[in-house]
Structure 1
Amino acid sequence: MGATEKSRAVGRNVPRKEGLDKVTGAAKYVDDLTFPGMLHGRTIRSTIAAGEIENIHLGFARKGFTIADCRDVPGRNVVALIELDQPCLAERRVRHFAEPILLLAHEDRERLLEAESLVAIDYREETPIYDPEKSDHCFKEIRIEKGDLARGFAEADVVVEGEYRVGLQEQLYIEPNGVIAVPENGGITVYGSLQCPYYVHRALRVLLGLSDDKVRVVQTETGGGFGGKEEYPSMIAGHAAILAWKSRRPVKLVYDRVEDMVATTKRHPGVIRHSTGVTRDGTLTAIKIDVLLDGGAYMTLSPVVLSRGVIHATGPYRCDHVRIQGRVVATNTPPNGAFRGFGAPQTQFAAEVHMERIAETLGIDSVRLREKNAFRPGDTTSTGQKLGRDTSALRVLREAVSRSDFRAKRRAYRGTNRGIGLALFFHGSGFTGGGEVKLASKASLELTETGARILVASTEIGQGTRTMHAQIVADTLGIPYDAVEVAAADTARVPDSGPTVASRTCMVVGKILERCAQEMRRELGGRSARDYLAERGSLVVTKEYSGPDGLYWDDETYRGDAYGAFGWGCDVIEVERDPETWEIRPTRVTAVCEIGKAIHPVLARGQIEGGTAQAVGYALLEEVAMRDGR
């Protein structure tokens, strides 16, 4: 075996593994699937934000319906995530609008929808809390300290303060949440549109009180996620499973767009306050930041969102004296959760707007301010992590400024209906601190007669997971890309590779697969796959995550190496304003990113373009308005 430079897959725009099925319509999404005797499910939800359930009235004939509430849960009535605080079905107390209370199933969708409209619930309402600044229920608090803050402020010539608010954001994946639960062999199998099969697997084990081998989760073709299908599928899968368990029939539960937007998690809104000490020449001497995020009614993944948010809160800027205080609190609104960037977009937005405020206060050029304070190799972050030679904040900043002709355009646009802005950012890859070690993710590689088969729980949600993993394996084994198969993400067949989140699927799982392929190549010893299988019968190599040497992290003090690697980026956005309507329209985006080796250049560009489009939408076009908790 041996791959020549011309035959290598890595670095080339090879065809996507699932591409042909998608463009020909052969790919099967969850709503394309049917099972004999299948019922359709619906969720009856709270119409108030806070209170107690007093009575439930069913104004329809019950024959032919499966009806389930919290009393029908055979295991523990919780959604098993970080904390077990969220019920799968409300028992008596309601903590947010659209909280699930009752489940209905019927074989006729029209009759099901009619029955849903005939359910009435009596409540004893309570006064809800919608403002996170008035909440006394804190899910998580994190404090980061570096240096001596008082000394840093004493060294400053000027102190610049600012308060920045960020709102909700909807993931708006193309395909809404949906699952099918099938009772079989004394257990349950769930097929679904999801990011993290083993999250759902654990949640169902706890909810139904079943052993590992009695729960199977299979990812169907998935139409996008952006974090919105990380934790929430554990909820909808639980609902379908409860109905299937009670009826002993398969149950399909697929949200329409309205229900998906009303009921599922969003990006955390928040308030970020900065107080920054700076000298006249623009040197940052002290950074004090308070971060407050609104977690909604239940914890979900809020502590993880807060963690990444506070670690990135300074932006990619060096300062010897830093204090960051972060809290995520409860309100009587639908729970918030995972969304692309996991808290870092909120806090780095605040950091970048604040840098502009500092430049304006000092009367200096904002690009020069960033250049002066941007991270260099050898600098330390707020957690004390020493940055390596690949630190690229200055490089991407200067490249973006040059390519966009930023300075000339900023001068030219003054006093017109045109504008230009800039944001410098960084992003840690993988789970924070010792998270990857705790996950102990696994990957397997199986030898086939024609090549190899990848066995991982990492999911394809549009970003190119199957393709990228196959490229890595093909080059490591020295075989053609087309000789590598990728098994479905099925918990009965693949090991737990950890969740498909946090920019870890390539860096972490891809590296484990590379190690699997290296061992397989050594084991083959130059023999063909057919010869080896004829002699030995089979070959499956499984490896577990092993982190880089020398990394240190303390969860109590939030000191140490937060991430194994960082990505770096700088965006320049040009806009124009309609003088009559005041509508703001983006006219040009220059996005410069340092990402290391692009495994698949087209897919990498797609990720950059998609993330940038989501950011522009968040800033200019999208407002998820919350009124009276809904």
Structure 2
Amino acid sequence: MKVVGTSTPRIEGREKLIGTAQYVDDIPLGDFLWGQTVRSSIPYGKIKSISFDPSEDWSDVTIVTAADIPGVNVVGILEKDWPVLAKDRVYHQMEPILLLAHRSRERLYRLQSKVTIEYERWDPVLTIDESLARKAVLFKEDNIFKQIAIDKGDADAAFAAAAEVVERTYWTGHHEQAYIETNGMVAAYDPAKKYLKVTGSLQCPFYVLKGLAPIVGLPPERVEIEQAVTGGAFGGKEDFPTILAAHASLLSMKSGLPVKMIYDRPEDLMSTTKRHPCRTVVRTAHDSSGKITALEMDITMDGGAYCTLSPVVLSRGTIHAAGPYNWDNVRIRSRAVATNTPSNGA
């Protein structure tokens, strides 16, 4: 076989090596606006009012709220629960509430602090135990995005007959994907042709297309998604780019100009989806020789405020929980729950 043992050059390798590869922030645009997001400062509550500092000139600033969305105000990945922009309530700190666009990025940074949002604060659900206890109901009737059960053999009998049972609880925190290039997106809407083109740092163009078209109120054939050279992703640009694409697109549609949105590192760290925090309880049954005769695992993942890809991550964690071993007796129970923290994903 000629392909075995043969090194295949990367298609984009030369451009990356000599520095001519165009990441999203390198794309020449001509006349365009920068976009910026105004976010929630509290984890849970009702939006009472939004006001703009009258000492500032807002006449040349494009402002987008939930009321400006021409289609649906939801990103539908596995559940239709993730708002593009919060309308009347917020479910986590750093949740997007409104968008600003201007030619000067420096001015946008200043204007962010000139928007005042008043809230009615509610007591947030911040831990998996508070979620399971239904301190507040955030998702459906029980706060559970997904739950899975795996059974093999007779775990109860194996534990009852065990000479020794060992139990340990393990905690893992948020995992940041730590891509070098932060999330970025450029959207350009042509009102004459009713055609939207979005170019961004992303992993799954068809995820973005499926989610974005209903938000902007266009048929899929009038929306073009292009993946720019992407400076790392590792799952972190799988679900979240649909939100950023929607924000840039809404600003472009309202302003009539291309809009570029590039997160700085603090915004990217605090607002984008991470890998889930998790509590794992592991019990093993042993006979008198020390042989493990049964495995029981209880897994709870913190999905954050919205479902996103939590069921997918949960299924992979659950399916792989027992490892590559041929267990005679296994019981695995797992669930992903909602909390008032930024959503977690791939």
1:324-369 CA-partner distances (Å, limit 9, x unpaired): 110110111001110xxxxxxxxxxxxxxxxxxxxxxxxxxxxxxx
Match of 2:101 in 1: 105
Which of 159, 166, 179 aligns to 2:165? It is 159
Which of 4, 15, 38 aligns to 2:9? It is 15
CA distance in 1, matches of 2:310, 2:206: 19
Which of 19, 22, 29 aligns to 1:25? It is 19
Which of 137, 145, 154 aligns to 2:151? It is 145
- 1:53 aligned onto 2:47: yes
For 2:183, the aligned partner's letter is N
Which of 124, 128, 140 aligns to 1:128? It is 124
CA distance in 1, matches of 2:144, 2:265: 31
Greater fraction helix = 1
1:272-330 CA-partner distances (Å, limit 9, x unpaired): 00111111333221111100000001101001111111111112222111111101101
Match of 1:293 in 2: 301
For 2:276, the aligned partner's letter is H
Match of 1:201 in 2: 209
State the aligned residue count.
Answer: 332
CA distance in 2, matches of 1:242, 1:298: 21
Give 1:87 deviation, angstroms. 0.3
CA distance in 1, matches of 2:255, 2:213: 18
Equivalent residues of 1:284, 1:318 under 8 A apart: no
Give 1:207 deviation, angstroms. 0.6
Which of 20, 35, 44 aligns to 1:41? It is 35
Equivalent residues of 1:45, 1:97 under 8 A apart: yes
Match of 1:272 in 2: 280
SS at match of 1:128: coil
For 1:107, the aligned partner's letter is R
Could you state the TM-score of these two structures normalised by the residue count of structure 2? Answer: 0.93
For 1:86, the aligned partner's letter is W
Match of 2:343 in 1: 335
CA distance in 2, matches of 1:121, 1:216: 34
Match of 2:257 in 1: 249
Q: Percent identity?
A: 49
- 1:172 aligned onto 2:166: no
For 2:146, the aligned partner's letter is K
CA distance in 2, matches of 1:282, 1:196: 47
CA distance in 1, matches of 2:160, 2:123: 45
CA distance in 1, matches of 2:57, 2:48: 21
Match of 1:524 in 2: none
Could you state the TM-score of these two structures normalised by the residue count of structure 1? Answer: 0.52
Give 1:157 deviation, angstroms. 1.7
Match of 1:83 in 2: 79
CA distance in 1, matches of 2:219, 2:11: 34
SS at match of 2:110: helix
Give 1:117 deviation, angstroms. 2.0
RMSD (Å), alpha carbons: 1.2
SS at match of 2:244: helix
Which of 223, 235, 238 aligns to 1:215? It is 223
Runs of 4+ deviating beyond 3 Å = none
CA distance in 2, matches of 1:18, 1:287: 46
For 2:317, the aligned partner's letter is G
CA distance in 1, matches of 2:266, 2:96: 15
Equivalent residues of 1:80, 1:206 under 8 A apart: no
Q: How does 1:473-512 map to 2 (within 5 A)?
A: none
CA distance in 2, matches of 1:278, 1:11: 46
Give 1:156 deviation, angstroms. 2.2
For 2:181, the aligned partner's letter is E
Give 1:46 deviation, angstroms. 0.3
Give 1:107 deviation, angstroms. 1.2
Q: How does 1:222-241 map to 2 (within 5 A)?
A: 222-241=230-249
SS at match of 2:276: coil
Q: Which one scores higher on RCO, CA 8 angstroms, separation ≥ 6?
A: 2
For 1:233, the aligned partner's letter is P
Structure 1: gaps (5+ residues)? 339-630
The worse-fitting range, judged by mean Cα deviation, of 167-176 and 112-121 is 112-121
Match of 2:91 in 1: 95
Give 1:245 deviation, angstroms. 1.1
Q: How does 1:370-449 map to 2 (within 5 A)?
A: none
Match of 1:512 in 2: none
Match of 2:315 in 1: 307
- 1:181 aligned onto 2:175: no
SS at match of 1:239: helix
Match of 1:65 in 2: 61
1:251-287 CA-partner distances (Å, limit 9, x unpaired): 0011001100010011101110011111133322111
1:376-424 CA-partner distances (Å, limit 9, x unpaired): xxxxxxxxxxxxxxxxxxxxxxxxxxxxxxxxxxxxxxxxxxxxxxxxx
For 2:277, the aligned partner's letter is P
Give 1:34 deviation, angstroms. 2.8
CA distance in 1, matches of 2:160, 2:338: 36
For 1:171, the aligned partner's letter is Q
CA distance in 2, matches of 1:34, 1:107: 15
1:221-253 CA-partner distances (Å, limit 9, x unpaired): 000001000000011011001111111211001
Give 1:158 deviation, angstroms. 1.2
SS at match of 1:133: helix
1:19-45 CA-partner distances (Å, limit 9, x unpaired): 110011110000011323211100000
